[in-house]
Structure 1
Amino acid sequence: MSTIRGFQGKSQYANDIDKRFRPSACGPVTAYTILRYYENETTYAAGIDHLYRLLGGTKIGLFKWRFVRRMRKLLGPEWIVEDCGIERLKNEIDEGRPVAAKFDKWFSFHWFGKFVFDYHWVPVIGYKESENGVMLIVHDNGGRNRDSRVREIPYAPHKDILSFVKIEKTTVA
C-alpha cells in the first residue's frame, strides 16, 4: 500500500465556494487541493472560484483536455501536466505526488454501468494492490451536507470511465 501523507481534501460544497459553482466544482477543487499540497500559494491563493474560471469550469463540469491545457498555462514550464495511465499513477503516488482522476461515464459512452461516480474529479492520494486488483485511495471532494473524505474505489470496474492527469513540479525553487 502506498499513500501520500499530509494531503488535505476539501468539499466542493464548502461555504467559501460560490453557490452557483458548487455542483460542478469538483475539477477546480481537485486542482486546488493538489496545488495546495505542493504549497503553490500564488496559484491557489485566489480561491476556488477564481480557479473555476481560469480552468474553464462549466455547469456540466470540466473537460479533461481543458483541465490539462489550462493547468499547463496556469503553472508554466516548471510543471508537467499530462495524461497518465494506472502504472504511471502508481509511480507518481510512490514518489509522493497526488494525481487528478476523472470518472466519466457519459462522455466515455458507458451510460448503463454501475459506478461509484458518474462524472466526477477527485485527487488520488494512494493505492493498494491485492489479489482482487488495485484499489484507488481518493478524496471524494464532499457532497451537499458532507465533508470531503478518503474513500477506496476499485480500479478494475471503473477503468473504462477513468482517466488520470499527473501534475508534477520539475524544478525546485
Structure 2
Amino acid sequence: MRIQLELQGLSQFDRSIKIQYQKSACGPVTALTILRYLMPNSCPYDASRLYRLLGGTRIGLFTWRLKRNLRKLLGPNWDIDTCSMDEAKEELRAGRPVACKFDRYFSFHWFSSYDFSYHWVPLIGFEEKENDLTLIIHDNGGRNRPSRIRQISYEKNKGILTFVKISPNTKKFELLTMLV
C-alpha cells in the first residue's frame, strides 16, 4: 500500500525567512507547510513569525514547545499531540500530513547512522513493503537547494523518530455545532 499527499514544500533557506533563523528553521517550516496544507488560503503566518511564536531556538525546536505553542495558536478545536507510527499512518490515510522529527542527539543515539541527525520534516506519505516501511517526506531543502520529496527507511531511523499530529478536533467541533 502506498499513500502520498500532494503538498507544497518550502525550503528553510527560502529568502522569505530571516537569515538568522534559517539554519534552525526546519521545525517552524514543517509546521507552516502542514498548516498551509490543512488551511489553504487562510493560514495567517509566515515562517519567520511562526519561528518566534513557536519558540524556535538556534539549536532547533523542541517537541514539547511545538505542541504547547501550536495548541495556543490554533486553539481548542485542534488536536496537536505526539503519536505513534500507526497513528501517523492513520493521519496520512485521512489526508493529513504529520510533523516528523529526527533527533539522534536528545535520544542518545550518537554513534549510529541515520538519514538526518536533527531535523523536522513533513511526513507526507508511506509505502508498506515486505521487510520495511518507507516514509515519504519533504526535506525542507538546504542552502541553494529547494525542498524535495525523499523516501526514508523507517526501520533504519525508528530509534530517533518522533511524530506529531496536527488535526482538526472533529469531536469538539461536532459538540460545539450541536450546542449552537
Question: TM-score per shorter chain, which class?
Answer: over 0.9
One-letter amino acid of the structure 2 residue matched with residue 37 of structure 1? Y
Partner residue in 1 for 2:143: 144
Distance 1:48 1:168 in 2: 20
Partner residue in 2 for 1:31: 31
Q: Does residue 36 of structure 2 align to residue 3 of structure 1?
A: no
The answer to which structure has the higher helix fraction is 2
Distance 1:141 1:127, change over 3 A: same
Deviation for aligned residue 1:133:
1.0
Deviation for aligned residue 1:157:
1.1
Distance 1:96 1:56 in 2: 27
Distance 1:163 1:80 in 2: 16
One-letter amino acid of the structure 2 residue matched with residue 2 of structure 1? I
Deviation for aligned residue 1:40:
5.8
Structure 1 residues 82-101: aligned runs within 5 Å:
82-101=81-100
Deviation for aligned residue 1:132:
2.4
Distance 2:150 2:12 in 1: 16
Structure 1 residues 42-121: aligned runs within 5 Å:
44-121=43-120
Check the 8 A contact 2:83/2:163 in 1, yes or no.
Answer: yes
Count matched residues.
Answer: 171
Distance 1:71 1:157 in 2: 29
Check the 8 A contact 2:32/2:45 in 1, yes or no.
Answer: no
Match of 1:135, SS? strand
The CA RMSD over aligned residues, in Å, is 1.4
Check the 8 A contact 2:121/2:139 in 1, yes or no.
Answer: yes
Deviation for aligned residue 1:170:
2.1
Instruction: State TM-score, norm by structure 1.
Output: 0.95
One-letter amino acid of the structure 2 residue matched with residue 20 of structure 1? Q
**Unaligned ranges ≥5, structure 1:** none
One-letter amino acid of the structure 1 residue matched with residue 69 of structure 2? R
Distance 2:105 2:96 in 1: 28
Match of 2:10, SS? coil
Distance 2:112 2:67 in 1: 26
Deviation for aligned residue 1:33:
0.4
Instruction: State TM-score, norm by structure 2.
Output: 0.91
Partner residue in 1 for 2:17: 17
Deviation for aligned residue 1:46:
3.2
CA-to-aligned-CA distance 1:59-113 (integer Å, 9 cap, x gap)? 0000001111111111000100001011001111011000000000000000011
**Unaligned ranges ≥5, structure 2:** none
